[in-house]
Chain A
């Protein structure tokens, strides 16, 4: 039996990858990368999810199951890294647009 969120992970990653590979607009490529990142983050979070569990804070915690803290730490780090990367790539696109006057990734000068 496959859980529904893992299905969503696969859909998101495939959608993002297809955008990165097939889209010509550079901003859409960056969006595709973000969609992949969203899929991977969803995967990490859903791995640590336990139904009916509480947040992993031990102070005054009720005697229930806790969700796994490690995937949340991983996701947080991954989100921060992804934000940095997105900002950097968008700034590259701004500079590229200033030089080339186009967002089309096929209009390039480095060939072969």
Chain B
């Protein structure tokens, strides 16, 4: 056990990587062996991530120098050498969310995709994407961040085009152009930082930045922040999101949604921890403004959509906006730190967790409906609640949680955001609440059309257990997080917010 925790950061990245390259070979032995291998490897990773999170919450930051004789030997000569992985409360929280969603999505995908030749390779990409997300969560090094960023882009694009229709290639190409541009911006920013400080380690650079910064840092931070905003699909570059949501397989969409949240996490890590002294109120206001516009654009564009998947894609843009609204408010009120800023930051971080759970649940429920009716276009479908009650319940839980109705988790985090953003500017709360209400309107319309009315008459497939279990787990998590929100905030979210607000702990882990 201590071995697992001590080497946890490396193991959590290594397991999905190794599995990604063994699965195509194992797939020759048959479908069951292949599925077992995928689910088992992700379950193992989830276990390691859980152990690591428990350890980090109890004992503080854990660093891991790859290839050192002792894993904690990060700076043998006084300055950091080797690739360093660093896990604190914040990255532990995000990796826990990412891995949980990856595990549930892998379960969901077992029956979803009709058995085809290339399923082994598909799961290889799926595991690569999981490994890339783990790497983005744990890396303490800018260049490794770039590499994992590109791994996430390439494996996602490969899976988006899985159905090989013209539209899916179009979505994949669009995603790829934006991701590659983002990746190059990131590399440019990292290059500037390297030229300025001669180091690539985040903690070490944070230490140097705290001592004094120049205009070059501002250029680097702008490039890196824009790259990560491209990836997370906030307002100015949101157009890839609805296309991807419309065309990619359901499990891939859920993973891409999570990877965009991981991108946001890296952005916050860089803005708070590395450039805590440079990113002043201006950066915070920029994040807040982009978040507010994302909410407006996402919700307004979701309303006229006829395609359900596309509509959920636009709502996902708005949900990213709430996270940015909360965390941006935290950034504005960082110097000096005040109570509502901390509350907004915690709300934003809590909303990252809730966004991943809620959006995944509603999207998986929508795709399960498409699966049992065997139709891609759901326009003529109605009255499904009579025939498939569990799906109706899951969809209802998802829509209540997304629109922030108590007692779901979405209410808890959105209330935290609204009540603290109000102190920054009351208008922002108004935008947020209006967006929330409009989301409810959008989804209730869909719910009525899909599930209520005269019973559905066409042929229905049975919902496989591998689809029901992930949706059930997500619903339970949503309700538990909603009912015990104060407990969740105290144990998970507040340590994460403190980790962002206090960069010294992160820096001290390395030097």
Residues 179 to 193 of chain B near chain A (Cβ within 8 Å): 180-181, 183-184, 187-188, 190-191
Is B394 in contact with chain A by the CB < 8 A criterion? no
- Report if A109-B167 is in contact (Cβ < 8 Å); known contacts: A70-B200, A81-B147, A85-B180: yes
Contact in complex: B187, A92 (CB < 8 Å)? no
Contact in complex: A110, B150 (CB < 8 Å)? no
Question: Hey, what's the 0/1 contact readout for A1-29 against B, CB within 8 Å counting as 1?
Answer: 00000000000010001001000001001
> Of A26, A43, A100, which one neighbours B191 at CB under 8 angstroms?
A43
- Report if A20-B177 is in contact (Cβ < 8 Å); known contacts: A92-B169, A99-B166, A99-B169: yes
Distance of A54 Cα from B305 Cα, bound (Å)? 61
Contact in complex: B191, A74 (CB < 8 Å)? yes
Distance of A48 Cα from B130 Cα, bound (Å)? 34
Is B194 in contact with chain A by the CB < 8 A criterion? yes
Majority SS at the chain B contact face: helix
Interface segment out of the listed B39-47, B62-70, B156-164, B468-476: B156-164
Is A66 in contact with chain B by the CB < 8 A criterion? no
Residues 58 to 112 of chain A near chain B (Cβ within 8 Å): 70-71, 74, 77-78, 81, 84-85, 88-89, 92-93, 95-96, 99-100, 108-110, 112
Question: How far does the Cβ of B134 sit from chain A's closest Cβ, in whole Å?
Answer: 18
Question: How far does the Cβ of A36 sit from chain B's closest Cβ, in whole Å?
Answer: 5
Is B154 in contact with chain A by the CB < 8 A criterion? yes
Contact in complex: A33, B147 (CB < 8 Å)? no
A-B contact count, CB below 8 Å? 91
Question: Hey, what's the 0/1 contact readout for B237-281 against A, CB within 8 Å counting as 1?
Answer: 000001100110000000000000000000000000000000000
- Report if A47-B177 is in contact (Cβ < 8 Å); known contacts: A37-B184, A92-B172: no
Distance of A108 Cα from B154 Cα, bound (Å)? 22
How many residues from B make CB contacts under 8 Å with A? 39
Contact in complex: B180, A74 (CB < 8 Å)? no
Contact in complex: A40, B188 (CB < 8 Å)? yes
> Of A13, A71, A96, which one neighbours B194 at CB under 8 angstroms?
A71
Residues of chain A within 8 A (CB-CB) of B183 are: 81, 85
- Report if A95-B177 is in contact (Cβ < 8 Å); known contacts: A40-B191, A112-B301: no
Contact in complex: A40, B187 (CB < 8 Å)? yes
> Of A20, A37, A81, A96, which one neighbours B169 at CB under 8 angstroms?
A96
- Report if A110-B171 is in contact (Cβ < 8 Å); known contacts: A89-B177, A95-B161: yes
Contact in complex: B191, A20 (CB < 8 Å)? no
Residues of chain A within 8 A (CB-CB) of B190 are: 74
Residues of chain A within 8 A (CB-CB) of B187 are: 40, 44, 74, 78
Q: How large is the interface on A (under 10, 10 to 19, 20 to 34, 35 or more residues)?
A: 20 to 34
Residues of chain B within 8 A (CB-CB) of A77 are: 143, 147
Question: How far does the Cβ of B114 sit from chain A's closest Cβ, in whole Å?
Answer: 20
Distance of A26 Cα from B28 Cα, bound (Å)? 37
Contact in complex: B180, A33 (CB < 8 Å)? yes
Residues of chain B within 8 A (CB-CB) of A43 are: 188, 191
> Of A26, A70, A89, A96, which one neighbours B180 at CB under 8 angstroms?
A89
Distance of A89 Cα from B310 Cα, bound (Å)? 23
Distance of A13 Cα from B153 Cα, bound (Å)? 21
Is B285 in contact with chain A by the CB < 8 A criterion? no
- Report if A96-B166 is in contact (Cβ < 8 Å); known contacts: A33-B184, A71-B194, A88-B158: yes
Contact in complex: A47, B147 (CB < 8 Å)? no
- Look across to chain A and name the residue whose beta carbon is closest to the beta carbon of B176: A89
Question: Hey, what's the 0/1 contact readout for B117-146 against A, CB within 8 Å counting as 1?
Answer: 000000000000000000000000001001
Residues of chain B within 8 A (CB-CB) of A95 are: 161, 164, 166, 169
6 A-B pairs with C-beta separation under 8 A: A40-B191, A78-B187, A81-B147, A109-B166, A110-B242, A110-B246
- The 7 closest A-B CB pairs, nearest first, are A99-B166, A92-B173, A47-B195, A110-B243, A95-B169, A81-B150, A96-B169
With A85-B180, A99-B169, A110-B247 known, 10 other A-B pairs at CB within 8 A are: A37-B184, A40-B191, A44-B191, A74-B187, A78-B187, A92-B161, A92-B169, A92-B172, A96-B169, A110-B170
